[in-house]
């Protein structure tokens, strides 16, 4: 079967094509700002599996049917436009940045070393340029994309097609589903969202931009029981 994620109406996300399933956690630098991702484990998942997106399953990250008793409203409200239409362009002397705020999953990799916007502004300094590129590449939702100015191309991390369940121990919450490596995500009504190298899907049930995460898991204190592993 093709590698794909299918959103079901008021129900789980069906993953097909034997995509590996990992758990990854945010690691902080000495100042407590997100620095990098740490792979915690690979989960047994198999060829196809159903991931909870209502937040109520007792067998997270997998669906156990709880969306029915929870009366989950999984209506997809995300705009169906390409990233290029959502994003604003920030030009720097050494690297450019595009930023689509509506995709923010509040992973906060853009906060380190003065923040990515200041780093882009000062990107004639190779150190600042390097950190800006790193920060954009660690942004799980792909809200932030660094661009090679000469080539006019995005600087994207090299990801295997895979799915990661994220944890944010710095905020004491569990995070979204991180889909990597250009795997198509199809809505309940058959629309294929723009295929991107990285997107984040809501699994707490609270996002106002479903099926994508919008950081609501932080306010909700979403906890899948594995935050600090």
Cβ 207 to ligand FES, closest distance in Å? 4
Determine if 164 is a binding residue for ligand FES (CB under 6 A).
no
Determine if 107 is a binding residue for ligand FES (CB under 6 A).
no
Determine if 204 is a binding residue for ligand FES (CB under 6 A).
yes
Question: Which of 57, 163, 216, 224 is in the footprint of ligand FES by CB under 6 A?
Answer: 216
> How far is residue 142's CA from residue 179's CA, in Å, rounded to a whole number?
10
Closest CA to 141 of 114, 112, 109: 109
Cβ 75 to ligand FES, closest distance in Å? 14
Cβ 13 to ligand FES, closest distance in Å? 12
Q: Which of residues 58-97 bind ligand FES (CB under 6 A)?
A: none
Helical H runs in the chain?
66-70, 83-86, 116-121, 126-138, 216-220
Beta bridge partners of 24: 39, 166
User: For ligand FES, which stretch binds (CB under 6 A), given 11-19, 108-116, 129-137, 209-217?
Assistant: 209-217
Determine if 179 is a binding residue for ligand FES (CB under 6 A).
no
Q: Which two tokens stand for residue 210?
A: 């479903």
Cβ 109 to ligand FES, closest distance in Å? 15
Cβ 216 to ligand FES, closest distance in Å? 4
Question: Which of 141, 164, 197, 207 is in the footprint of ligand FES by CB under 6 A?
Answer: 207
Query: What b/e sequence results for 131-167 when a residue is b if at least 16 CB atoms lie within 10 Å of its CB, and e otherwise?
Result: bbbbbbbbbbbbbbbbbeeeeeebbeeebeebbbbbb
Beta bridge partners of 131: none
Question: Which of 110, 180, 202, 211 is in the footprint of ligand FES by CB under 6 A?
Answer: 202
Strands 21-28 and 162-168 come out as parallel
Determine if 171 is a binding residue for ligand FES (CB under 6 A).
no
Determine if 35 is a binding residue for ligand FES (CB under 6 A).
no
Cβ 188 to ligand FES, closest distance in Å? 17
The full DSSP string for 18-69 is ---EEEEEEEE-TTS-EEEEEEEEEEP--SSEEE--SS--SSTTB--SHHHH
Query: What b/e sequence results for 108-128 when a residue is b if at least 16 CB atoms lie within 10 Å of its CB, and e otherwise?
Result: bbbebbeebeebbbbbeeeeb
Cβ 130 to ligand FES, closest distance in Å? 29
Interface residues with ligand FES (CB under 6 A)?
Answer: 105, 176, 202-204, 206-207, 213-217
């Amino acid at each position: 079967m093709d590698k794909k994620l299918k959103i079901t109406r008021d129900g789980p996300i069906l993953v097909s094509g034997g995509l590996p399933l990992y758990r990854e956690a945010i690691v902080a630098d000495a100042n407590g700002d997100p620095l990098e991702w740490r792979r915690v484990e690979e989960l047994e998942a198999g060829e196809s599996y159903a991931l909870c997106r209502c937040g109520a399953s007792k067998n997270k990250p997998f669906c156990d049917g709880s969306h029915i008793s929870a009366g989950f409203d999984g209506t997809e409200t995300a705009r169906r436009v390409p990233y290029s239409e959502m994003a604003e362009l920030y030009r720097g002397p050494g690297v450019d940045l595009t930023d689509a705020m509506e995709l923010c999953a509040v992973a906060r990799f853009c906060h380190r070393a003065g923040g990515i916007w200041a780093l882009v502004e000062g990107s004639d300094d190779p150190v600042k340029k390097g950190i800006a590129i790193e920060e954009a590449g660690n942004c799980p939702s792909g809200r932030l994309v660094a661009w090679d100015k000469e080539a006019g191309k995005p600087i994207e991390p090299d990801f295997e097609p895979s799915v990661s369940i994220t944890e944010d121990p710095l905020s004491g919450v569990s995070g979204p589903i991180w889909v990597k490596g250009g795997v198509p995500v199809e809505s309940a009504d058959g629309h294929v969202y723009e295929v991107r190298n990285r997107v984040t899907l809501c699994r707490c049930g609270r996002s106002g931009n479903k099926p994508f995460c919008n950081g609501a898991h932080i306010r909700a204190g979403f906890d899948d029981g594995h935050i600090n592993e």
